[in-house]
Amino acid sequence: MSRPARSPSDRSPSRSRPRRRSSAGASWVARVRVRLIEEGDSMDPKDLGTTAKEIIDANLYMVLGTADEKGLPWATPVYFAVSDDYREFFWVSSPEATHSRNIAARPQIGIVIFNSQVPIGTGQGVYMPAVAEEVADAGLEQALAIYSQRSLAHGGTVFTEEEVRDADPLHMYRATASGHSMLAKDGLPDHRIVVDLGG
């Protein structure tokens, strides 16, 4: 006497087979790990901190991730200058620009600095949560000195305090980063690790 076929709902959960990583996925992870070992990719925090500084110094633009009061996101590249401790980032923008209006409503932002011209699979960037604001009169002199030094080195111009005050079309902005992170080059899927840029 033949047994009636059991529907999938009748089968015991304990007998279901566990999911396995696809052979292609496992092979990819293995290849990446081997490549990292062969290339000697370092996960040392000091080395990563040095790399982060080099990325910031070598690139002219950073991407600001902002959002309006309703949470609608907006991304904008801006030319920037950075303080010696890599915590404060300065740029000049119109207060009427979307990202400037977003900052006025919601100062919490995200920043990423990266080189988009490197080969596939070798990209690296510096990611930062930050709080942004328009620079008040008391801080303009220092902010303009930092910004102008880098701007001149790249063939740009120098702004004076009179050119970035309330009635002028461009204002000086500052983002203060609360931390720095980079992609972890350990062969696992996309995730970041905190890096120390001090010292």
Residue ranges of the domains in the chain?
Answer: 23-195
100 burial type by CB count under 10 A (0-12 exposed, 13-18 middle, 19+ buried): buried
- Residue carrying structure tokens 């790249």: 154
pLDDT at 190: 76
pLDDT less than 70: residues of the chain? 1-46, 199
pLDDT at 127: 97
Q: Which CATH number describes the domain made up of 23-195? A: 2.30.110.10
Q: Return d(Cα 65, Cα 189) in angstroms, integer.
A: 23
pLDDT at 189: 73
- Name the nearest CA neighbour of 182 among 5, 3, 42: 42
- Name the nearest CA neighbour of 193 among 77, 22, 45, 86: 45
Neighbouring-strand partners of residue 171: 93
pLDDT at 36: 44
pLDDT at 43: 62
pLDDT at 199: 56
Helix (H, G, I), strand (E, B) or coil at 111: strand
pLDDT at 48: 87
Q: What is the dihedral of CA 67, 71, 73, 78, to 10 degrees?
A: 0
pLDDT at 7: 52
